[in-house]
Structure 1
Amino acid sequence: MRVLVWHVHGSWATAFVAGRHEYLVPLVPDRGPAGRGRARTWDWPASAVEVTPQELRALADAGAIDVAVLQRPEEGALLQRWTGLEAGRDVPAVYVEHNAPTGHAAATRHPLADVDAVATGRVPIVHVTAFNALMWDTGGARTLVVDHGIPDPGHLWTGERESVGVVVNEPVRRWRVAGTDVLARVGHHVPLDVYGIGVGALAEHLTGPVTGDPETPSDGLGHRLHEDVPQAAMHRALAASRAYLHPYRWTSLGLSLLEAMALGMPVLALPTTEAPAAVPPAAGVLSARPDDLVMAARRWLADPDEARERGDAARAHVLEHYSHAAFLHRWDAILTEVTS
Structure 2
Amino acid sequence: MRILVWHVHGSWMTAFVQGRHDYLLPLVPDRGPDGRGRARTWDWPASAVEVPAEDLRHTDFDVVVLQRPEEVELVERWTGRRPGRDVPALYVEHDAPRAGAADSRHPLADRKDLKVVHVTAFNRLYWDCGDAPTAVVEHGVVDPGYRYTGASPSLAVSVNEPVRRWRTAGTDVVLHLAAGVPVAVHGMGVLDLAERTHGTPAGANLTVHEDLPQARLHEVLGTHRAYLHPYRWTSLGLSLIEAMMLGLPVLALPATAAPENVPREAGVLSSDPDVLLATARRWIAEPEEARAAGLAAREAAVAAFGVHRFQADWDRLLTEVTS
TM-score (norm 1): 0.93
The 8 Å contact of residues 113 and 140 in structure 1, kept in 2 or not, is answered as yes
The 8 Å contact of residues 178 and 202 in structure 2, kept in 1 or not, is answered as no
Alignment of 1:300-315 (within 5 A): 300-315=283-298
- Name which of 310, 316, 323 aligns with 1:327: 310
Q: CA deviation at 1:175?
A: 0.5
Post-superposition Cα deviations, 1:159-215, rounded to whole Å, max 9, x if no partner, equal: 0001000000000011011110111111111101111001111113264586xxxxx
**Structure 1 CA distance, aligned partners of 2:58 and 2:297?**
47
- Name which of 278, 284, 303 aligns with 1:295: 278
The 8 Å contact of residues 3 and 23 in structure 1, kept in 2 or not, is answered as yes
- Name which of 150, 159, 173 aligns with 1:182: 173
The equivalent of 1:241 in structure 2 is 224
The equivalent of 2:86 in structure 1 is 90
- Name which of 194, 197, 207 aligns with 1:205: 197
Stretches (4+) displaced over 3 A: 206-210
**Structure 2 CA distance, aligned partners of 1:35 and 1:232?**
24
The equivalent of 1:215 in structure 2 is none
The equivalent of 2:237 in structure 1 is 254
Q: CA deviation at 1:56?
A: 0.9
The 8 Å contact of residues 157 and 263 in structure 1, kept in 2 or not, is answered as yes
Q: Which amino acid aligns with 2:90?
A: V
The equivalent of 2:98 in structure 1 is 102
Q: CA deviation at 1:131?
A: 0.2
The equivalent of 1:213 in structure 2 is none
SS of equivalent to 1:326: helix
The 8 Å contact of residues 53 and 78 in structure 2, kept in 1 or not, is answered as yes
**Structure 1 CA distance, aligned partners of 2:281 and 2:165?**
26
Q: Which amino acid aligns with 2:260?
A: A
Provide the alpha-carbon RMSD of the alignment: 1.1
Structure 2 unmatched runs, 5+: none
**Structure 2 CA distance, aligned partners of 1:100 and 1:271?**
15
Post-superposition Cα deviations, 1:192-243, rounded to whole Å, max 9, x if no partner, equal: 1111001111113264586xxxxxxxxxx63321100000100000100000
The equivalent of 1:282 in structure 2 is 265
**Structure 1 CA distance, aligned partners of 2:134 and 2:226?**
36
The equivalent of 1:217 in structure 2 is none
The 8 Å contact of residues 208 and 223 in structure 1, kept in 2 or not, is answered as no
The equivalent of 1:76 in structure 2 is 72
The equivalent of 2:121 in structure 1 is 130
The number of aligned residues is 321
**Structure 2 CA distance, aligned partners of 1:105 and 1:186?**
28
**Structure 2 CA distance, aligned partners of 1:223 and 1:138?**
41
Identity of aligned residues (%): 62
Structure 1 unmatched runs, 5+: 211-220
TM-score (norm 2): 0.97
The equivalent of 2:254 in structure 1 is 271
Q: CA deviation at 1:323?
A: 1.2
Post-superposition Cα deviations, 1:286-327, rounded to whole Å, max 9, x if no partner, equal: 011110100010010111100000000000000111111000
SS of equivalent to 2:102: coil
